[in-house]
Structure 1
Amino acid sequence: MMRTVLGVALLVASSVCQAQTPSDTVERFLHKVATSASDQALDDLFAGSGFAETKPQDIITLKSQTRMAMGLYGTPIGIEKVREEDLSPSLKRIVYLQKFERYPVAWEFYFYKPKDTWVINTLNFKDQIASLVGAQQ
């Protein structure tokens, strides 16, 4: 009996240690969004946020815009983290550069932590990167 309890405790501790950070979530999303699975990447990103249920038309529009944009930029060749900011204990901003053959794309993510887990709150992407990466004037 004690071994079973210990095994369950270790399993729970292991899954807590493997919990996805917002940066992990973003990187997994960026690797997937540049493929033909961009719709699924967005579904995965927004899972658990309530966004798909409260704003389904916005998700449909975002999917369409993302598919169109990914087709214009060429082959993806990598990602780079530009910035990660803790705006408060419950709000985080992460900016990534996604590199393509033709253009760079800046992605800006806001994550919100209402209780114990981070959920995506806002997503922006642009090929006019200065507006998202905070270019110096």
Structure 2
Amino acid sequence: MKYIIASFLLVLISCGNTNPQEKTEDPNLQKLMDTFFEKYKTNPGEAVDFIFGTNTDIAPEQVKELKEKLSTISVLAGKFYGQEQITSQKATSSLVYFSFLVKHDKPIRFIFMFYKPKDKWKIYKFKFDDQVDAELEESGKVYFIK
């Protein structure tokens, strides 16, 4: 019985950060995301311009296409009510992943990957979809090592 309890505690500890209210360790990165969502509240296109302003390697045509898709999905999803962090993962001190539940009448999931090559964070990847349940289902799976 002790081994089962110890194994269960070990699994819980190793699950990583899943607290939706937890802030990032880096205040600069937290400010980027807070500003993004503040802009998103009134103008999704402006929010995309803001976040991609951190990475000049992205082609303007790609940003334009992304803005159009996000504006469309935002309208189809209905009224915006806020966001909650689903999870965050720190691959290294220079590469981090965030997933957010973006609360509209219909939920949307936003995925951000940030990279810090030197001293400033820049967006590395930004995706959105309506597959909020996929991440939740995946996190609910239990894997056993034999």
Query: Where in structure 2 are the equivalents of 1:33-52 lying within 5 Å?
Result: 33-35=40-42, 37-52=43-58
Gaps in structure 2 of 5+ consecutive residues: 1-25, 142-146
What SS does the corresponding residue of 1:51 show, helix, strand or coil?
coil
Identity %: 26
Q: Describe the superposition over 1:85-132 as per-residue Cα deviations: whole angstroms up to 9, x where unpaired.
A: 11112100011111112x111111000000011111100111111345
Gaps in structure 1 of 5+ consecutive residues: 1-18
Aligned residues: 115
Partners of 1:95 and 1:59 in 2: CA distance: 20
Q: Describe the superposition over 1:28-72 as per-residue Cα deviations: whole angstroms up to 9, x where unpaired.
A: 21232242x2222111111131134xx222111101101101111
Using the size of structure 2 for normalisation, the TM-score is 0.70
- Is the contact between residue 54 and residue 121 of structure 2 (CA under 8 Å) also seen in structure 1? no
Using the size of structure 1 for normalisation, the TM-score is 0.74
Deviating above 6 A after TM superposition, structure 1's stretches of 4 or more consecutive aligned residues are none
Partners of 1:23 and 1:81 in 2: CA distance: 12
